[in-house]
Amino acid sequence: MVKLFGTAEGLVRRAGDPGSGLDSAAAWAVEPFGLRRLYPAARETMLRLARRGGRFGITPGTAWPGDDPWTAPTAWTAWSLAALARQERDPAKARTDRRVALHLVADLRRAATPTGALPERVDARTDIPRSTTPLAWSHAFAILALLELWPPQEKG
């Protein structure tokens, strides 16, 4: 997989096409699929996308048309980075992954409507929803990210 989709910057949208841009779907290599050999490339991809993001989240990829953030990719990236943080043995990497995951969760909160609904995407400058609101899978991924960041305590 890395051979097909990998570049020096991370994982791209189309196999063998570096110009297709980094793709937020790289996060799926971590959660839900757990493809450990892809973790380093997926981490690099997610961190680069997060650095390029705005105050309301990230776009689905670096070659995505427009600059409006999408809440589902923001939420699934937060979930996967939180999972990497929990599993990482290197404390510095774990701190970075958790910090970026928390930042993305904060982006989601800023992107939410006053009633807490997550739109599919928001205007990058005004935070006005630009499509379907609420979007159930954005909410689902946000909940998974929160559960990964703050796992429920077992009663014993």
Q: Is the pTM of this model over 0.85?
A: yes
Q: pLDDT exceeding 90 applies to what percent of the chain? A: 90
Backbone phi, then psi, for 30, in 5-degree steps?
-90, -65
Residue found by looking up tokens 């998974």 in the block: 144
Hey, is 70 helix, strand or coil?
Answer: strand
Q: What is the mean pLDDT of residues 34-58?
A: 96
The predicted pLDDT at position 155 comes to 72
Q: Is 30 within 8 Å of 40 (Cβ atoms)?
A: no
Output the six-digit token pair for 99. 């910090």
Residues in the chain, overall count:
156
Domain boundaries defined on the chain: 23-149
Measured distance between the N- and C-terminal CA atoms of the chain, rounded to whole angstroms: 42
Reported as a single tens digit per residue, the pLDDT across 22-39 is 999 999 999 999 999 999
- pLDDT band of residue 1 (cuts 50, 70, 90) is low
